[in-house]
Amino acid sequence: MRIRLIYTFLSVLILTSCGVNDRTLSVMSFNVRYDNDQDGVNSWENRKDLALSFIDKESPDVIGFQEVLPRQLDHLQEHLTNYSSVAAGRDDGKLGGEMVPIFFNKEKFELISSSHFWLSNTPEEAGSKSWGAYFPRVVTWVQLKNLDNGYIFYVFNTHFSHVSEFARNESAVLLLDKIHILAGEAPVIVTGDFNASFDEQCYKTLTGNWKDHTPLWDSRFENLTTNNDLLTTFNGFKDDTSKVIIDHIFVNGMFLVQSFKTFPVKENDTFISDHYPIKAILSFRLNEKKKSEKEKELIPALPDPYFNTNELAFDKEIEVPISIMGNSTKIFYTIDGSSPDTTSLLYEGPIKLKRSTSISAFAYSDGKKPSGIISKTFVRKGNLDEEIIDFTPDDLANQQGVTLLSDLKHGKMNLEEGWVKSDTGNVEITYKLAKRKQIKELYISYLIRPVDAILGPKAIEVSISNNNETYELFGNVNLVPSTDTKENQNCLAQISGQKNGRYLKIKFINPGLTIKNIPSSMYIDEIILK
């Protein structure tokens, strides 16, 4: 027994001391920040030499880049002549939009196969997106063979959604499924900007121990130097940014992590990017690392259904269609203000409404987690003829016309149509009715999207008058503007009262907050009088 132990020890010692270099490769993940002239001193033109000289110095074997636009890809390919690359634009699978290219040292590795898939319910469809993601998101992967020792391994590189936590988690589930299908038991490396730190569900999904899926480890915490590098990876082109660690290099149990490092590179006032690059030194393990914890079932959640209409208000009657991806999925809904469950009304076709109603719905399917609940209020417009006679500040009245406030439709989520936007402070609108009437309710819709510094109003005040001179308060609502960058939704405020008058003055109070050094703006959509 003792002889066997000595023999085993010597074998491991020889393999460790003589063979590690033959099995070692260095892997970098680097979000280069897309080519944006508005970045000033930190624009790509000012940063590219710094970025390229850094890559030359570190000379990683494999690099997973993020946010690479076609011109940047050209620069990288022209300079990194000892690398081959695989890339596809997220918009069309060609050169449209940002890419997540993989570069690899062509003198060390042979490309066996490669492809791309999109983080959506239709992953093979170029440009597809799902789950509330604002942009299409793509994964580029390669299968490489080490020319020195014949080892074959896979690299997956990606960039997860920046607005939807649900999309990030569903992306993690899809990524794990694809790794299982494409790579099987082979060595796997995953690089990327995941827009998620250690406490978010998608990170926990990626590093969980799931049945029939290869476990992944964060190389940051597996390195043999025992120095868990917790430097921020996102800097926002500022020195004093709060610690945000959202860039990761994951490996499966076929790799040993020799070291891990974050590189806070800056030259004078110019940052290498708004993300710092990270690098792991890996070596192929002789025996696969196993997890001791019990395997769990990886069950994806259903995507949220959605109201397949842009209508917000209606005159006499409206039909509301609800849609969802997937044929074997049921939708349950309520119209009485309660939360829906599987005993609620079963959706079988467009819901007909003849009065103001709030609809709540969710999706359900056997073997999957239920979706989240969606809700929307549809307002029957009162029989009032009104016109806007005053608009402050004046320049807002020229934004596609103030008729946008009474077209009965939500503004487009791409922000290009249907909104009256204010960057200048408070907004005040005066309505004149055809004749004196009793006003009972106002519904006012607006957008919140803190990631773009679009916040809801701090308060809305409504006053009423008979002569457009003396006004009294009709009603008001105080709101708490959200600065949570994960939020992205249309909101509807309701103000009730019961007063007679011919003139209404509506004032929107700008919250006056700053998000990422950008003053808050307000996007007002629809004002409905009843």
Contact 530, 250 (CB under 8 A): no
How far is it, in rounded angstroms, from Cα 391 to Cα 395? 9
Phi and psi torsions of 413, nearest 5° = -70, -10
Question: What residue has token string 């009065």?
Answer: 355
Is this model's pTM higher than 0.85 or not?
A: no
| Residue 23 tokens, joined | 């099995």
Q: What is the pLDDT of residues 118-127, one digit of tens each?
A: 999 889 999 9
pLDDT tens string, the chain, 530 residues long: the values are 333 333 333 333 333 444 556 789 999 999 999 999 999 999 999 999 999 999 999 999 999 999 999 999 999 999 999 999 999 999 999 999 999 999 999 999 999 999 999 999 889 999 998 887 889 999 999 999 999 999 999 999 999 999 888 889 889 999 999 999 999 989 999 999 999 999 998 999 999 999 888 899 999 999 887 677 899 999 999 998 889 999 999 999 999 999 999 999 999 999 999 999 999 999 999 888 877 677 888 877 788 898 998 888 888 899 999 998 766 689 999 999 898 988 999 999 999 999 999 999 999 887 677 888 899 999 988 776 777 877 777 555 444 556 667 777 777 766 766 788 887 688 898 989 888 989 988 998 898 888 888 888 999 999 999 999 999 999 999 988 877 766 778 888 999 988 999 999 999 998 888 877 788 888 888 888 88
What phi-psi label fits residue 230: left (phi over 0), alpha (psi between -120 and 50 degrees) or beta? alpha
**Dihedral sign, CA of 128, 130, 135, 137?**
negative
Rounded distance between C-alpha atoms, residue 307 and residue 296, angstroms: 34
Residue with tokens 């999109």: 118
Give the pLDDT of residue 10: 35
Which three-class secondary structure state does DSSP give residue 330? strand
- 337 CB-contact burial (10 Å; exposed 0-12 / middle 13-18 / buried 19+): exposed
Residue 247 to residues 30, 161, 265, 337, 338: CA-CA distances in angstroms?
8, 13, 15, 41, 41
The 10 Å Cβ neighbour count of residue 254 is 21
Rounded distance between C-alpha atoms, residue 88 and residue 136, angstroms = 12
Q: What is d(CA 315, CA 528) in angstroms, rounded to the nearest whole number? A: 11
Residue 192, Cα to own-chain centre: how many angstroms?
Answer: 14
Backbone phi and psi for residue 502, each to the nearest 5 degrees, phi listed first? -120, -15
Q: Which of 279, 263, 192, 239 is nearest to 50 (CA)?
A: 263
The conformational region for residue 59 under phi > 0 = left, psi -120 to 50 = alpha, else beta, is left
Q: Which amino acid is at 34?
A: Y
Tell me the residue length of the chain. 530
Domains of the chain, earliest start first: 26-284 (3.60.10.10), 306-380 (2.60.40), 386-529 (2.60.120.1190)
Cα distance from N-terminal residue to C-terminal residue, the chain: 90
Least Cα distance to 261 among 60, 16, 19 occurs for 60
- Alpha-carbon gap, residue 47 to 414, rounded angstroms: 30
- For residues 476 and 110, what is the distance between their CA atoms, to the nearest angstrom? 67
Residue 317: helix, strand or coil by DSSP?
coil
Residues with Cβ < 8 Å from 238, sequence gap 6 or more? none
